[in-house]
Structure 1
Amino acid sequence: MKLYIKYMVSIRCKMVVKEELDKLDLRYVILDLGTVELIDDLTPGQRSILKIGLLKSGLELMDDKKAVLIEKIKNIIIEMVHYTDELPKVNYSDYISEKLGLDYTHISKLFSEIKGITIEQFIIAHKIERVKELLLYGELNLSQISYMLNYSSVSHLSHQFKKVTGLTPSFFKQLKGKKRITLENI
């Protein structure tokens, strides 16, 4: 049985879900961002307890098919931008479409209707948060970050960063991260 969990966007979220599953002695095959594949079906009582336990941690068990698809799209983007060392060299639309096995036009239209922004805007917002994170770590320079996140140039990255944040990357770095946004709120 497959479950879909909203706002499950980090390793910490996975730990919370694992803890809730363990409390109910629920065995799983896969525990990934946004999804859990259980070995056995849930009873209505277990589902209710799990739902309440997840809500206490800010997570939601989802039933609506559109909401599930939106969460899958979001999780693919979050994983792609935040949890890989280098972004794929293909078009993001092709990457997302291939991962979901669905037509990108359909995915894009649905995402825009539900979220009120385009997938491209969502990706840009996450890329900028990733840039902020990497700038604060101080291990990479702007040129390396630009390459890592598939920007065509440092200038392009800097322009997009300023457009989204209102700050230059160098000025942001001087602020020491006071303007970071949690992944759940992007």
Structure 2
Amino acid sequence: MKHQHFHIKNMVCSHCGEVLSEKLEQAGFSVKKVELGEITLESPIDMEQQEDFTKLIQKHGFDVINNQNSRLVEQIKQLVIQLARTGEKLENPLSDYLAKKLHKDYQQLSRLFSGVEGKSIERYYILQKIERAKELIVYGEQSLSEIAYNLGYSSQQHFSRQFKKETGLSPSHFSEIKENRRISIDEV
């Protein structure tokens, strides 16, 4: 019996997938596999069940992607977010990584992504790394040099330049602001 795949918009962490999987199982759907941005059911479901499936997905803040191009853009986003969050070091350029993972020509992926998102894949990747850096700075468990290294920057200086270019603040200034806010909240 064939499985049925659904691409899910905004499912960007494994915890999201676990929660959705649990909710789907509770609703009577037999989930075979959950990956970032994708849920596979054990067997195909009919139109009425698909409607129930979609409503349940939407109830939890996600959406099912039906259009092939939208699905491809979402897959690109999922891969880029995963790279930014894990800090995985790429042996080859991002373009090669995505082309290999998605079995598509990178120029095609790039044109499609830019057309839909209004920014290049590389820019989206930088923005995701900066968002992850902000989170790590707020957590305060790593030094700025550790954060730079873990996000794949060649040096702390390169990380600092890119962070300042995107946020208008240096990472150390961002950290100081975070500390000042924490002090004022603690004093209340």
TM > 0.5 between the two?
Answer: yes
> What does 1:131-142 correspond to in 2, within 5 Å?
131-142=133-144
Letter in 1 for 2:76: I
1:12 aligns with 2:46: no
Gaps of 5+ in 2: 181-188
Does 145-154 or 55-64 show the bigger shift? 145-154
Whether contact under 8 Å (1:77, 1:123) holds in the other structure is: yes
> What does 1:37-48 correspond to in 2, within 5 Å?
37-48=40-51
Based on CA coordinates, which of the two structures has the bigger radius of gyration?
2
Q: Could you tell me which residue of structure 1 aligns to residue 126 of structure 2?
A: 124
> What does 1:70-85 correspond to in 2, within 5 Å?
70-82=73-85, 84=86
Q: Aligned with 1:69: secondary structure?
A: helix
Q: Deviations over 1:101-140 (max 9, x none)?
A: 1111100110000010100110000000111122222222
Whether contact under 8 Å (1:20, 1:50) holds in the other structure is: no
State the structure with bigger RCO (CA 8 A, min sep 6), 1 or 2: 1
Q: Deviations over 1:136-181 (max 9, x none)?
A: 2222222222222221221111111011111110111122299xxx
Residue correspondences, number: 177
Dislocated runs of 4+, deviation >3 Å = none
Q: Could you tell me which residue of structure 2 aligns to residue 148 of structure 1?
A: 150
> What does 1:1-186 correspond to in 2, within 5 Å?
1-82=4-85, 84=86, 86-176=88-178
Gaps of 5+ in 1: 179-186
Scaled by the length of structure 2, what TM-score is found?
A: 0.87
Counterparts of 2:179 and 2:132 in 1: how far apart (Å)? 12
Q: Aligned with 2:95: secondary structure?
A: helix
Q: Aligned with 2:160: secondary structure?
A: helix
Q: Could you tell me which residue of structure 2 aligns to residue 183 of structure 1?
A: none
Counterparts of 1:132 and 1:165 in 2: how far apart (Å)? 10
RMSD value, Cα: 1.8
Letter in 2 for 1:90: N
Whether contact under 8 Å (1:9, 1:75) holds in the other structure is: yes
Counterparts of 1:177 and 1:44 in 2: how far apart (Å)? 53
Counterparts of 1:141 and 1:91 in 2: how far apart (Å)? 27
Per-residue deviation at 1:85?
5.0
Q: Aligned with 2:111: secondary structure?
A: helix
Q: Deviations over 1:3-29 (max 9, x none)?
A: 111111123321332133213322222
Percent identity of the aligned residues?
A: 38
